[in-house]
A and B are shown apart, each in its own frame.
Chain A
Amino acid sequence: MNKFLKWFASDSFIVSLAAIFMGLLLGAVVMFIGGYNPITAYMALLQSVFGSLDGFGEALREMAPLVLTGLAVAFAFRAGMFNIGAAGQVLMGMTGASLIGIKVTGLPAIIHAPLAVIVGALFGGLWAALAGYIKAKRGVNEVITTIMLNWIALFLCNYIVRTFLLMPGSQRSLDVESSSWVSIGWLSEMMGNARVHWGILIAILASIFFYYFLWKTKQGFEIRAVGSNPEAARYAGINVNKNIVKAMFISGVLAGLAGAFETLGVFHYQSIYSSLPQYGFNGIAVALLGMTHPFGVLAGAGLFGMLTYGASGMSFEAGVPSEIIQIVIGSIIFFIAAQGIVRFILKPVYKRKKEKVL
Chain B
Amino acid sequence: MAAAAPVVELKQITKRFPGIVANDSISIKLHKGEIHALLGENGAGKSTLMNILFGLYQPDEGQIEINGQIVAIDSPNKAIDLGIGMVHQHFKLVQPFTVTENIILGMEPSKAGIQIDYKTASEKVKQLSDQYGFRVDPNAKVEDISVGMQQRVEILKTLYRGANILIFDEPTAVLTPQEISELIEIMKRLVAEGKSIILITHKLKEIMSVSDTVTIIRRGKVIDTVQTSDTSPAELAEKMVGRNVSFKVDKIPAQPKEKIIEVNNVSMKNKNGVSVLDGMTFDVHAGEIVGVAGVDGNGQTEIIEALSGLRKIDSGSIMLNGKEIGSHTPRQISEAGVGHIPEDRHKHGLVLDFSVSENMVLESYYKQPYTKRGFLNFRAINDLAKRLVEAFDVRTPSIHTKSRSLSGGNQQKAIIAREINKNPDFLIAAQPTRGLDVGAIEFVQTQLIRQRDQGKAVLLVSFELDEILNVSDRIIVVYEGKVIGEVRPEETNDQELGLMMAGSRQVQGGVKA
Contacts and interface: CB of A to CB of B under 8 A. Distances in A.
A219 B347 contact: no
A235 B371 contact: no
Nearest to B329: A237
A229 B376 contact: no
A218 interface: yes
A235 B351 contact: no
Interface string B329-371: 1110110000010100001111111100010001101100001
Interface in A210-241: 216-222, 224-225, 228-229, 231-239
Contact of B349 (A216, A218, A232, A239): A232
Given A228-B354, A235-B349, 5 more contacts: A218-B376, A221-B376, A224-B354, A232-B362, A237-B331
A24 B362 CA distance: 44
B350 A218 contact: no
B322 interface: no
Contact of A229 (B330, B331, B350, B366): B350
A229 B359 CA distance: 12
Nearest to B358: A221
A239 B358 CA distance: 18
Contacts of B350: 229, 232
Given A233-B351, A237-B331, A225 B375 contact: no
Given A225-B362, A234-B330, A237-B331, A218 B351 contact: no
A235 B348 contact: yes
Interface residues of B, number: 26
Interface of A: 216-222, 224-225, 228-229, 231-239
B72 interface: no
Given A219-B374, A236-B363, A228 B351 contact: yes
A217 B366 CA distance: 9
Contact of B352 (A222, A229, A234, A235): A229
Contacts of A222: 365
B366 A218 contact: yes
B365 A221 contact: yes
Contacts of B352: 228-229
Judged by DSSP, the binding face of A is: helix
A236 B340 CA distance: 9
B351 A232 contact: yes
A234 B354 CA distance: 15
B122 interface: no
Contact of A228 (B329, B353, B365, B376): B353
Given A221-B365, A232-B362, A237 B354 contact: no
A161 B243 CA distance: 79
B412 interface: no
A191 to B, nearest CB: 38
Contacts of B348: 231-232, 235
Contact of A237 (B330, B342, B358): B330
A218 B330 contact: no
Nearest to B370: A218
Given A218-B366, A236-B362, A225 B308 contact: no
B368 to A, nearest CB: 11
Contact of B342 (A217, A224, A235): A235
A304 B40 CA distance: 53
A247 to B, nearest CB: 15
A237 B308 CA distance: 9
8 residue pairs, one from A and one from B, having the closest CB atoms: A237-B331, A237-B330, A218-B371, A236-B362, A229-B351, A235-B348, A236-B363, A228-B353
